[in-house]
């Protein structure tokens, strides 16, 4: 049932999308366009049994199963068309279904094909930063105890918010009549999407022992014959919840099929009042849903497919004024939102943001992620890990960050219904460390503002970059027990790389001293850390580029300076070959410097082959060979240190 809230504003099929249909698919296509995916799947299956298994029919059938999250059947039917498909969405969905079914290696193979087709897509760039991320998530171990609640039904049950010792959930259980239009309806009609009853809001009393009793179907001010969804409360007891726009007689009508579809809005009911009020951010053109109120009651977080977002659904925030209006609505940005779907935000006691996404790096389907706001910006998104997350959809996560108790919803295997609610208890903290880097001038001991500060992982991938504040401070949120580097640079200073090993401490402070750039001028040479090359290679590596950027800084500061670059090889291979190799390395090095804007006339490059090793050895080790493969930088003119001595 979660899928209703995922794609309830699904764009209805246009005539151009139905070109592949004929009269035989008319019934199935109509059911599909009305979002009756269970019935549509049955109709497409009947066509296939009759031998009418065109790519169009198979594609439509795969979409039906995808929309109702029948991952096994969706994978099966996507597999029949994906080999010959160049549609990135088909390939991405097939990869998703493989991942949801635990076939991670094959899922990665198809994700690489998706990357090739859409390299700039957020989902592609996120994946390429760490394509082998799954072992990291799993290796973190189980930080929560997860238990299926005894209140779950055979239908869809999800969500969970607590107010005054009551748990409020969303459910499609068909056990209570509905008072509507002046009469009791003893049985509600089913929703065509998944052939389950419409969603309503229920409450349960929480006993001192934590048991849930006294199921209560909320009154007709809240529940209607249409969908009601996720709830959130402010400190005054005001309930915010999602509702389908049919209740307000608002819908989108497709001019071709004459089908109508609703959107979702957020409504509120003040404590002690009977008047449900729609928020001013609601629209007949798009959905707003999944409300979450900050602990101070001043900010509403929600998800929406409003125009201008990054994907299908994005997460937004808005300020709540004294009149209850929502102002200054902001998209939370690309750190949080992707070209996929981000939904079910929950803002914790400490203003940590938890949400679900199908396109951040997860185990399959929707996973729960979290981030913290540091310096007004969201930190790198983290996966909450197992067992909160599974290879199915995991969503509607809430937690009391003081007690460590909360709830998560999931359609994972082993549940009682299509979606179940699980209680969670934190066993170990979701471990993040706030790293504070203080940047100083090593000579004057004064702080350095606007220093470019970056964090890289153990593979050298840059995870985050920001400028230090006026007080020389840069802050980053890092994962415990991870290794990486902090890289700091500033015009006029010698850039520095510092190794990091993050402990389990909640806070860590590191002082980084930057030397003035002149510090690397020693006698007649520019003393960089060694520019090493791989065996038989002449290309510039990332470590070499970092060092050569220092040379560029010096030459920019002293425009009269000229440099001779000498490259040396090891003694492996014939001498003549080594001479040619060292010449290529010298030329590559000089070309890199020129590419940064230095006039070529200021650089002379030459290869020295194996003639002048740092370590003279007959049978050199690999380490000795690498030391001999190097470049040196000799000042031939405009040495500022000599001018200082002469003056």
Tell me the C-alpha to C-alpha distance, in Å, between residue 295 and each of 221, 234, 300, 573: 26, 7, 10, 69
Averaged pLDDT, 394-423: 93
Q: Which fold has domain 144-426?
A: Neuraminidase (2.120.10)
Q: Residue 220 has what pLDDT?
A: 73
CA distances, 64 to each of 14, 15, 192, 312 (Å): 17, 19, 12, 18
Question: In the chain, what is the straight-line distance between the N-terminal and C-terminal CA atoms, in Å?
Answer: 81
Superfamily in which the 432-515 domain is placed by CATH: Immunoglobulins (2.60.40.10)
pLDDT band at 102 (very low <50, low <70, confident <90, very high): confident
pLDDT score recorded for residue 190: 56
Note the pLDDT tens digit of each residue in 25-81. 888 888 888 778 888 899 999 999 999 889 999 999 999 888 877 889 999 999 999
Give the Å distances, CA to CA, from 186 to 176, 179, 180, 417: 7, 9, 10, 22
388: burial class by Cβ within 10 Å (0-12, 13-18, 19+)? buried
The predicted pLDDT at position 142 comes to: 80
pLDDT of residue 4: 45
pLDDT higher than 70, residue 228: yes
Q: Is the pLDDT of residue 18 over 50?
A: no
Model pLDDT, residue 463? 82
pLDDT value for 122: 84
Mean pLDDT over 398-423 rounds to: 93
What DSSP character marks residue 127?
H
* Bridge-based pairing state of the strands 239-244 and 264-269: antiparallel
Mean pLDDT of 338-361: 92
In the predicted structure, residue 182 carries a pLDDT above the cut 70 = no
The average pLDDT across 151-176 equals: 88
**pLDDT > 50? residue 186:** no
Better-scored residue on pLDDT, 90 or 179:
90
Q: For 124-140, how does the pLDDT look when each residue is reduced to its tens digit (9 = 90+)?
A: 988 888 888 887 777 66
Higher pLDDT, 535 or 627: 627
DSSP-assigned states of every residue in 97-111: HHHHTT-HHHHHHHH
Spatial separation of the C-alpha atoms in residues 167 and 203, rounded to whole Å: 5
Mean pLDDT of 165-173: 92
Q: How far is CA 106 from the centre of its chain?
A: 21
pLDDT tens per residue, range 260-276: 566 899 999 998 888 89
Residue 255: per-residue pLDDT: 52
Specify the range with the lowest mean pLDDT, choosing from 184-188, 381-385, 605-609. 184-188
**Sheet containing 166-171, strands listed edge to edge, beginning at the edge strand earlier in sequence:** 157-163, 166-171, 200-206, 212-217
14-18, 205-209, 459-463, 529-533: which range is least confident on average? 14-18
Q: Percent of the chain at pLDDT above 70?
A: 88
Least confident segment among 170-174, 308-312, 631-635: 170-174
Q: How far is the C-alpha of 256 from the C-alpha of 277, rounded, in Å?
A: 33
Q: How confident is the model at residue 240 (pLDDT cuts 50, 70, 90)?
A: very high
> What pLDDT score does 226 carry?
79
Q: What is the pLDDT of residues 419-436, one digit of tens each?
A: 999 999 998 777 778 889
pLDDT greater than 90 at residue 198: no
Instruction: Please give the CATH architecture assigned to the domain spanning 519-646.
Output: 2-Layer Sandwich (3.30)
CA nearest 478: which of 363, 387, 371, 389?
371
Residue range 15-28: mean pLDDT, rounded: 63
Mean pLDDT of 354-363: 92
Residue 556, pLDDT score: 94
Question: Is the pLDDT score of 481 beyond 60?
Answer: yes
Query: 432-515: same fold as 144-426?
Result: no
What value does the mean pLDDT take over residues 214-221? 86
Taking residues 494-506, what's their average pLDDT? 81
Q: What pLDDT digit, counting tens, does each position of 570-600 carry?
A: 888 899 998 998 899 899 999 999 999 999 9
pLDDT of residue 440: 96
Across the chain, what does the average pLDDT equal? Answer: 86
250: pLDDT strictly greater than 60: no
| CA distance linking residue 359 with residue 397, whole number of Å | 17
Q: What are phi and psi of 68, to 5 degrees?
A: -100, 10
Domain chopping of the chain, boundaries:
144-426, 432-515, 519-646
Q: Is the pLDDT of residue 8 over 90?
A: no
**HSE (side-chain half, CA atoms, 13 Å) at 577:** 8
Band (187; pLDDT cuts 50, 70, 90): low
Mean pLDDT for 410-424 is 92
Distance CA 175, CA 196 (A): 12
């Amino acid at each position: 049932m979660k899928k209703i809230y995922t794609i309830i504003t699904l764009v209805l099929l246009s005539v151009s999308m139905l070109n592949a249909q004929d009269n035989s698919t008319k019934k199935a296509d109509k059911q599909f366009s009305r979002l009756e995916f269970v019935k549509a799947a049955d109709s497409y299956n009947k066509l296939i049994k009759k031998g009418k298994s065109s790519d169009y029919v198979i594609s439509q059938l795969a979409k039906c199963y995808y929309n109702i999250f029948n991952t096994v059947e969706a994978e099966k039917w996507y597999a029949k068309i994906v080999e010959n498909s160049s549609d990135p969405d088909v390939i991405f969905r097939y990869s998703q279904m493989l991942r949801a079914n635990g076939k991670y290696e094959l899922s990665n193979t198809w994700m690489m094909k998706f990357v090739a087709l859409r390299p700039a897509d957020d989902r592609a760039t996120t994946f390429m930063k760490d394509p082998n991320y799954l072992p990291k998530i799993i290796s973190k171990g189980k930080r929560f105890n997860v238990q299926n609640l005894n209140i779950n039904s055979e239908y869809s049950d999800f969500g969970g918010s607590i107010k005054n010792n009551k748990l409020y959930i969303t459910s499609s259980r068909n056990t209570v009549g509905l008072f509507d239009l002046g009469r009791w309806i003893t049985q509600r009609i089913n929703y065509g999407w998944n052939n389950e009853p419409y969603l309503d809001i229920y409450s349960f009393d929480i006993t001192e022992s934590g048991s849930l009793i006294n199921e209560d179907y909320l009154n007709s001010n809240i529940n209607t014959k249409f969908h009601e969804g996720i709830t959130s409360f402010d400190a005054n007891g005001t309930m915010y919840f999602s509702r389908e726009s049919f209740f307000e007689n608002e819908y989108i009508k497709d001019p071709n099929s004459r089908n109508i579809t609703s959107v979702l809005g957020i409504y509120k009911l003040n404590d002690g009042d009977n008047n449900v009020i729609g928020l001013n951010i609601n629209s007949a053109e798009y959905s707003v849903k999944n409300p979450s109120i900050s602990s101070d009651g001043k900010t509403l977080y929600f998800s929406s497919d409003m125009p201008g977002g990054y994907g299908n659904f994005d997460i937004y925030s808005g300020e709540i004024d004294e009149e209850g209006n929502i102002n200054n609505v902001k998209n939370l940005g690309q750190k949080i939102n992707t070209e996929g779907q981000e939904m079910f935000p929950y803002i914790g006691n400490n203003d940590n943001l938890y949400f679900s996404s199908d396109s951040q790096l997860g185990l399959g389907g929707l996973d729960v992620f979290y981030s913290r706001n540091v310096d007004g910006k969201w930190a790198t998104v983290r996966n909450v890990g197992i067992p909160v997350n599974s290879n199915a959809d995991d969503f509607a996560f809430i937690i009391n960050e003081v007690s460590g108790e909360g709830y998560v919803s999931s359609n994972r295997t082993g549940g009682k219904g299509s979606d179940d609610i699980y209680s969670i208890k934190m066993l170990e903290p979701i471990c993040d460390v706030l790293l504070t880097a203080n940047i100083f001038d090593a000579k004057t001991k004064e702080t350095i503002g606007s220093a470019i500060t970056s964090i890289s992982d153990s593979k050298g991938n840059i995870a985050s970059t920001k400028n230090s504040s006026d007080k020389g401070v840069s802050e980053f949120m890092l994962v415990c027990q991870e290794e990486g580097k902090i890289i700091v640079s500033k015009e006029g200073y010698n850039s520095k790389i510092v190794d990091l090993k993050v402990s389990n401490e909640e806070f860590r402070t590191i002082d980084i001293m930057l030397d003035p750039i002149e510090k690397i001028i020693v006698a007649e040479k520019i003393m960089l850390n060694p520019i090493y090359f791989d065996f038989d290679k002449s290309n510039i590596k990332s470590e070499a580029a970092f060092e050569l950027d220092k040379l560029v800084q010096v030459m920019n500061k002293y425009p009269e300076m000229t440099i001779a670059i000498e490259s040396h090889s090891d003694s492996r291979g014939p001498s003549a070959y080594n001479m040619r190799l060292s010449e290529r390395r010298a030329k590559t090095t000089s070309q890199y410097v020129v590419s940064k804007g230095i006039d070529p006339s200021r650089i002379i490059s030459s290869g020295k082959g194996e003639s002048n090793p740092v370590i003279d050895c007959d049978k050199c080790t690999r380490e000795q060979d690498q030391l001999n493969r190097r470049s040196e930088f000799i000042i031939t003119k405009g040495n500022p240190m000599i001018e200082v001595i002469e003056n």
